[in-house]
Amino acid sequence: MAAAAKRHPTPVFLFSHGTTMMLGEESEPAEFWRSVGDEALRRGIRSIIMMGAHWECTGDKIQVAMNPNPQKTPVAYVAPRRYANFELTPDIPLANRVIGMLRKAGFDAEPNPTFNFIHDTFLILIRMFPTEKTNIPAVIVSANARFDPYYHIKVGSTLRPLRYENVLIIGSGGTVHNLYRNHWMQMVLHRDNFAQPTPPGQFALEFRQAMEDAFTMNCGPMLRRVVARLMKHPMYRDAHGTDDHFISAAFVAGAAGDQEDADAPNAFRAECWELVNMANTQFQLGLWEPAERR
Ligand SMILES: [Fe+2]
């Protein structure tokens, strides 16, 4: 029901944040995040809504961050000077509106006035805006700890109309993210998260390919179905020892999987592997501009 400021919806992004070591190191995903930040600023994006992988509510609840002065939780392996001075800018009015939209759609949504940002979201903001603050204000939405894909698809579809109001929707998680199957030795001994002393395991390669196929070969409502079905993939539990780093994929599929998105291509944009078995793939769903035809 948006008073559409423009006809073309903003693209939606799915970020794999991998380990926190990506903060200080150059990588293909890091460059890509920077380009998204530049593009968002150039196009006058007014706010960013993010669902991460490190905050979920129990029961049926979903929360929205409403702390007007959020702090940053510490990041393992990363020197605090890399993020301590970065200033977060929450968008409280939009957060209020998000709660209203979620409640109207039937969610048990509530504000969280004390929530502090976690690295799954603020590291991305630092990469997007590598100066001293969040140049575009942000709203963080929690996940729900039941990790029901259809619940999170509905969260995304509920917030989708904001894409017509210059709001960027981002999910942050991981393509293959199983801390129990990572190789930690190179990291612990040498702080080298990109070391690949052996190739990734078959489970990791197969599930990473399934994610790429799901996102790049499907559009519109079919994307939602395929992403939900990924949780039944034979390699899913090997690729995700827990569901927390997968579920934002359902959120973005909801936000970018409407019938109106059926003509919008979804693209693989960047990737790196860490700790042998962790795949960090970055996807863009939809386009900044309308496609050439139509
Ligand atoms: Fe994470």
pLDDT surpasses 50 at 2 = no
Residue 235 lies inside a defined structural domain of this protein: yes
Residue 2 lies inside a defined structural domain of this protein: no
Single pTM value for the model: 0.94
Residue 198 lies inside a defined structural domain of this protein: yes
The pLDDT value given to residue 5: 46
Please give the distance, rounded to the nearest whole angstrom, from the Cα atom of residue 294 to the centre of ligand 1. Answer: 38
Please give the distance, rounded to the nearest whole angstrom, from the Cα atom of residue 48 to the centre of ligand 1. Answer: 19
Residue 231 lies inside a defined structural domain of this protein: yes
Domain interval for residue 266: 12-285
Please give the distance, rounded to the nearest whole angstrom, from the Cα atom of residue 193 to the centre of ligand 1. Answer: 14
Please give the distance, rounded to the nearest whole angstrom, from the Cα atom of residue 52 to the centre of ligand 1. Answer: 8
Residue 199 lies inside a defined structural domain of this protein: yes
Find out whether 262 and 220 touch, Cβ atoms under 8 Å. Answer: yes
Percentages of the chain per state (helix, strand, coil), in multiples of 5: 40, 20, 40
Give the CATH number for residue 44.
Answer: 3.40.830.10
Per residue in 130-152, pLDDT tens? 887 878 999 999 999 999 999 99
Report DSSP state, residue 161.
G
Please give the distance, rounded to the nearest whole angstrom, from the Cα atom of residue 280 to the centre of ligand 1. Answer: 11
Return phi, psi of residue 247, to 5°: -65, -25
Average confidence (pLDDT) over 57-63:
98
Per residue in 90-100, pLDDT tens? 999 999 999 99
Please give the distance, rounded to the nearest whole angstrom, from the Cα atom of residue 18 to the centre of ligand 1. Answer: 6
Please give the distance, rounded to the nearest whole angstrom, from the Cα atom of residue 150 to the centre of ligand 1. Answer: 21
Residue 5 lies inside a defined structural domain of this protein: no
Q: In percent, how much of the chain has pLDDT > 70? A: 95
When the pLDDT of each residue in the chain is averaged and rounded to a whole number, the result is 93
The pLDDT value given to residue 115: 97
Closest by CA position to 212, among listed 199, 197, 230 = 230
Domain total of the chain: 1
Please give the distance, rounded to the nearest whole angstrom, from the Cα atom of residue 245 to the centre of ligand 1. Answer: 6
